[in-house]
Chain A
Amino acid sequence: METLLDALLAFLVLTGAVFTFIGSLGLARLRDFYTRLHGPTKATTLGVGSLLIASAIYFSTRGDGVSLHEVLVTLFLFITAPVSGHLLAKAALHLRMKSLTPPPRDPS
């Protein structure tokens, strides 16, 4: 049972690490500002998500009592990440950043 739990936790932490890494890698590999926005705003949702699930399981089984802080972190992350992404994109449109595809029309 213990080993099984450890295996599950290890799997979650590793998955989280891999996806967070891929998200950051996107910053280096993608070509323009708008496509780069995609890496950090999402590959990280799953990455951070599985890290938080691992954390919740770990502290609920080893610590004292159920640990639900992680639910809150997820909630805040899901609310704030898209907002910052949206504002970055809006600012980029306003500044007319170099783009692989032209924006459809002047967003004013």
Chain B
Amino acid sequence: MSRRQGLFRLLPHPLLTPALAVVWLLLVNSAAPGQIVLGLLLGWALPLFTLRFWPERVRIHSVPALLRFIAVVLYDILVANLNVARLILGRPDSLRPAFVEVPLELKTDLAISLLANTITLTPGTVSASLGEDRRVLLVHALDAPDPAGLVAEIKSRYEAPLKEIFEAC
């Protein structure tokens, strides 16, 4: 066993460890040294126990792209919430709901889950089903006068950045 593999076995998800430690510190709402040690310990142990859920290693290729993506999503949540509120308060009979199929270019599980979550969080669209072969995501849109435009927007606005962040070649 090479040194690298040994390290991988000990610390399968280097990014998850600090993230879990921070979540622990937020949960106890304290930054006492003891809590930091306990948080790091949990951050080290939990990934080992849950390894079977995360067989592949997560790599973030571009931090600026990640930050930009988060900003875009937060902004979209704000704007789209106003849109949905307007649609609900308006005349529900004039809505044009539609199912659209988004062909996926993403390959990794994490990126696909994040895309599905993002689609649901941004109002007006709910991800409904992922095809067996993971090539197509079925999305329900509350009001989609232009389904093809919606697919193009999802692909350029959310999928492309996610691809850049997690799967840059």
Contacts and interface: CB of A to CB of B under 8 A. Distances in A.
A81 interface: yes
Contacts of B128: 34, 86, 89-90, 92-93, 103, 107
Interface in B75-94: 77-78, 80-81, 84-85, 88-89, 92-93
Given A82-B116, A86-B126, A42 B138 contact: no
Main secondary structure of the interface of A (DSSP, over half): helix
A37 B77 contact: no
Contacts of A82: 116-121, 127
Given A45-B123, A104-B101, A31 B26 contact: no
Interface residues of A, number: 45
A31 B129 contact: no
Contact of B98 (A25, A30, A92, A101): A101
Interface of A: 19, 22-23, 25-26, 29-32, 34-35, 37-39, 41-43, 45-46, 49, 65, 67-69, 71-72, 75, 78-79, 81-83, 85-86, 89-90, 92-93, 100-104, 107-108
Interface of B: 23, 26-27, 29, 77-78, 80-81, 84-85, 88-89, 92-93, 95, 97-99, 101, 116-124, 126-129, 131-132, 138, 140, 142
